[in-house]
Each structure stands twice: as C-alpha cells, then as structure tokens.
Amino acid sequence: MSAPRILFLADAGAEVGGGHVMRCLTLARALSSHGAECAFVESRAAAPILRRFGWPAQTLLAMADTPDLPALVDYAAAFADLFEADAVVLDHYQMAVEAEDRLRGAERKVIVIDDLADRPHDAALLVDPSFGRRPEAYRALVPEHTNILTGPTHALVRPEFASARHRALSRRARHGPVRRALVSLGLTDLGAITDRVVRALINSLDEIRLDLVLGHDAPSIPALTRLADNDRRLHLWVDTAEMASLMADADIAVGAGGSSAWERATVGLPSVTVVLADNQRAMVEQMAAAGLTLAVDAADPDFEAQLRLCWNALAGEQTDRWRLTERSSDACDGRGAERVAEAIVNLLR
C-alpha cells in the first residue's frame, strides 16, 4: 500500500486563536511517523503558526486570503484532488455537513476534530478530546458508521510534553516551594489578557519568577516589555518552541481554557485555568469540579479578585498543588496524538 496522503484545514485568527492549527500540526507529525504524507491549506491567519511551528517535511499550501468560507472549501477541495488526498482533516468551528460533503471524494475520507458537539457532521472519524465528553453526545449528530473518539486520552498534545512528563512529575513529587510560575494565555493574547493577568498578580509575586508566553502579534507585548525592563522577576517568551520545558519547570501556572490545558495536565502543572471564550466555559467548569484545575472567567466583573484568590491558594498550599498534579496528570498522559494517528491509519487501510 502506498503512503496515505492527508490534507489538513484548520481555523485560526484573533478570535479563535492558534490552537486548532497547533493540534493539527501535532496530529500531522504523528501521522508522518506512520509514513503518511501531510499537507496544510495555508490561509493568511494560519500561515504564521504553520511557518513558525511546522517542520521541513510538511507541505505548506499558499492561497489567497478570503473571508468567504465557501471559497475556502472550494480551494481545499480542488487541492485535495490535485494532492490525491486519501483523507481531509477538518478542525474548524464554522464547518459542518455541507463543507464535509464538498471535501469528500469517491475514495476520500473526512475526519473531524471538534469540541463543541453542537452541529451535525458526516465524517468517517470524529475526535473530541473534551473532558467529560462521551460518544453519546454525537450519536444524533453523525451517521451510524462514524467512529467517535472522545476524552483527553485523545487530546492532541505534542510529543515533547509526554517526553517531559516523568521529569516534571518526579520534581513535583518532592513538594518543593513555588519558585517559578508560567502565564500562557494563547498566542493571540485575546483582549490583551496577559497584561491584565500580570497586573492583577504582580503585587502577589514576592520572589516568584514569572515566565510570560506570547505570540509575536500579542497586544500585551509593549506594556509587558516595559514592565519587564524594570522587574527582574518577569521574563518574556515570544513565539517560543520551548513550551514543554517551560511547563515542566514551572511550579504553578495561569493558562487558557483551550487545548493547552492538556499540555499542562500532561506534565501535572497545577494551574488556574482562565475561561476566555463561551465555548470553553462548560469544559473548564467540569475540570474544576473534578479537581483538575482551579478556574476563573475573564468575563466576570470580579475577575482580578478571583484570580488573586486562586493564585494565593496555589502559591501557598502545597497539598492543593499536589492534588491538582495527581488528578490532572491522571486525566491526560500526552499520547493522544499517537492513538488518533493509529485510528486514522487503520481507517485508511
């Protein structure tokens, strides 16, 4: 059998962030290790992430930027034919059955990554890594033949996090004091949330080092650069590829409620998870109720006060930190991409 060819189409932008592209890149890497040839539809919004975090074997496809979703689907369908794709992977909240039907060929499979369970799909395989999600949530939304993989055991986490897992968990088991913390709220830094969080916490840091991770277009960068110039505790990381090390070395974190929550869980990083979008709220609340994280909502009027309470609880109570480490690391081992890649390869045999 010849190597399977798989085309990816992932959403990105200021509102949706870069998580869709990042998890598709992770899956593509896992598929490449199985011998698959992977390509990406490269929109203007996705291009910076693909070019920064992709790898040489990956094919990037230039295209005219268009807000017209049907035109984007038409472009992808035309290239899928030229590429002779065996499968198209869709990770895009605005696409459902119509787009999937357009992208499916006579022998081509459609694979969907979703975490909303709010619209019908016509896919051979559907992956939803949300905490607490069960296949039953999709049974009325997909055909009977669809294979459904749910839960954080299928979270598409980059392999470097699984590689850092043993070291991170071993260090946390020594129950040391908090010396280093991480703030990572998405590459796009929606609404300059990183600056808002740092200003809420800066008087509570004591001698804790704070690593701040942002994308190069993040609106918080100018203000945080000025702050860091006068505060040796603040360290900025822009477009860094060192996230696994930063998370493994951090003692506590403030992070976003998207797919990066599973990166933090893989290395057992005790965290305050910030809800940044309506579609994150239900899952983050479930994670908090199950003891995997503390949670705050950026839309709450008393967000800063709630954030400080959670921060002080994490920084001050070692027993609570260890409980979060145990429960979050039990939920996700960081090997979901391998499992999903194997399911795709089996599907295409």
> What does the pLDDT look like over 155-164, one tens digit per residue?
999 999 999 9
Q: For residue 90, what is the enclosing H or E element? A: strand 87-91
**Do 5-157+334-348 and 159-331 agree at the fold level?**
yes
Q: For 300, how many CA atoms within 13 A lie in the half-sphere containing its CB?
A: 12
The encoded tokens of residue 279 equal 């579609």
* Sheet with 294-297: strands ordered across: 234-238, 209-214, 180-184, 252-256, 271-275, 294-297
By three-state DSSP, how is residue 336 classified? helix
Give the pLDDT mean for 254-281. 95
pTM: 0.94
CA 229 to the chain's CA centroid? 30
CA 196 to the chain's CA centroid? 21
Multiple choice CATH, 159-331, 3.40.190.10, 2.40.50.140, 3.10.450.40, 3.40.50.2000: 3.40.50.2000
271-275 and 294-297 as β-strands: parallel, antiparallel, unpaired?
parallel
Percent of the chain with pLDDT over 90: 82
Multiple choice CATH, 5-157+334-348, 3.40.50.11190, 3.40.50.300, 3.60.20.10, 3.20.20.150: 3.40.50.11190
Sign (positive or negative) of CA dihedral 275, 41, 158, 116: positive
Task: List all residues 6 or more positions away from 322 whose beta carbon is below 8 Å from its beta carbon.
Answer: 172, 173, 175, 270
The encoded tokens of residue 106 equal 């006579």
> What does the pLDDT look like over 284-309, one tens digit per residue?
999 999 999 999 999 999 999 999 99
Residue 57 has pLDDT above 60, yes or no: no
Percent of the chain with pLDDT over 70: 96
pLDDT of residue 148: 98
Give the pLDDT mean for 73-98. 93
Closest C-alpha among 190, 195, 332 to residue 256: 190
Round to whole Å and give the CA distance between 46 and 28: 15
Residue 38 has pLDDT above 80, yes or no: yes
Long-range residue pairs from 148-152, CB within 8 A, at least 24 positions apart, any chain? 149/125, 149/339, 149/340, 149/343, 152/262, 152/265, 152/331, 152/332, 152/336
> What does the pLDDT look like over 109-133, one tens digit per residue?
999 999 999 999 999 999 999 999 9
The encoded tokens of residue 282 equal 């239900």
Domain ranges in the chain are 5-157+334-348, 159-331
